[in-house]
Chains A and B, each alone.
Chain A
C-alpha cells in the first residue's frame, strides 16, 4: 500500500465526484421544462457507439506491435470473444471465456 488513509479517501472522493459529475451534468444542463437542442440529441444517439470504440483502444494502449509478442495474446483473445459472442450471445461466457483465454496465453504460452 502506497497511500495513507486520508490520501486514499481523497482519491476515492475524486473518483466519486468525477463519476457523479458526468452522470448528473446533462440533467442539470437540460432541465425537463427546456427543449434540448437537436445537436445534443444527435450526439446522445451516436456518442455511445463512438465511445466504446475509444474505450477498447484505451484498454489496449500498452500493447506493443513492434516488440514480442506483437499483440498476439490480445488479438487471439479478442477474436475468441467476438466469435463466442456472435455464436452464443452470452455476456458472461464471452467475458469470462475471453479473459480465461488471455490469462492462459500470457501465463503459459507467451511468457
Chain B
C-alpha cells in the first residue's frame, strides 16, 4: 500500500513536466505513422517500431531503409552513427541513474533526446522518490510516442493527402532543439563545431560518405579546443 502511494505521488509529479514532450511526440509520432502508411506499412508495424525502437530520428530515417534494398548491416551502422549522440547522454546520466535499481535498464532503454532534456535538468520535487519520478517521465514519454504513431497510422489509412514535405518535421525538431540549446548556454563553440565540421565534410566527402568523417572531425575539434571551451564554461 505504502509503495503504491509512493508511485502515484511520483506519477503526479512527473506528468506536468512531460506536457511539452506530449505535444512534440504526438506531432512527430503522427508524422511517422502517416509516412509509414504512405509506403504501405499499417498500424501494427508502426506501433511495433515505435514501442521497440523508441528513437524518433532513426525511425524517420528508417522509412528510407524500408523502401530500399534489404541490408540490415547498413541499417545497424546507420543507427549507431545517428544515435551516437546517445552515448553522451548516457555519460551525462551515469550519476543521476545510479540509484535506480531494477528500473535502471528501462530508464536507459528510454533515454531519448527529449527524456534526456527533461531528466538531465530537473530534480524531483521534495518527498518524491527519484527513481519512480524518472521511471514515470520515461514511461509517459514512451506512451506519447507510441500513441502519436498509432494516431498517425490510422489517419494515414483513412485520409489521403499530399504528404510532400512532411518529412521536414524531423529537420524542424532538430532546429528547435538547436535553438533551445543555443538559448540555454553562452558557450556556442560546440554547436558551431557541429554545424561547421559536418558542412565541411558534406562538401568534401559527398552525401553518402560524410557522416563518419564528420564525427571524427567533431571529436578532433572538441579535443583540440578543449581548453578554450572549458575556459568559457559558466561564463
Contact = CB atoms under 8 A, between A and B. Distances in A.
Interface of A: 1-3, 7-8, 10-27, 30, 32, 36, 40-62, 73-74, 77-78, 81-82, 85-86, 91-92, 94-96, 98-99, 102-103, 105-107
A1 B36 CA distance: 11
Interface residues of B, number: 98
If over half of A's interface residues share one DSSP class (helix, strand or loop), that class is named, otherwise mixed; here it is: helix
A10 B72 contact: yes
B98 A49 contact: no
Interface string B48-69: 1100111101110010011111
B175 interface: yes
Given A11-B72, A23-B111, A95-B176, A53 B90 contact: no
Interface string B99-135: 0000010001101000010000000000000000000
B235 interface: no
A72 to B, nearest CB: 13
B39 A1 contact: yes
Contact of A51 (B45, B88, B97, B199): B88
Contact of B58 (A13, A18, A59, A81): A18
Contacts of A42: 226, 230
A36 B91 contact: yes
A23 B172 contact: no
A65 B229 CA distance: 32
Interface string B143-179: 0000000000000000000101110111111111111
Nearest to B52: A16
B139 interface: no
Contacts of B98: 32
Given A48-B89, A53-B193, A95 B53 contact: no
Contacts of B89: 23, 48
A52 B174 contact: yes
Interface string B1-36: 000000000000000000010011001100100000
Nearest to B111: A23
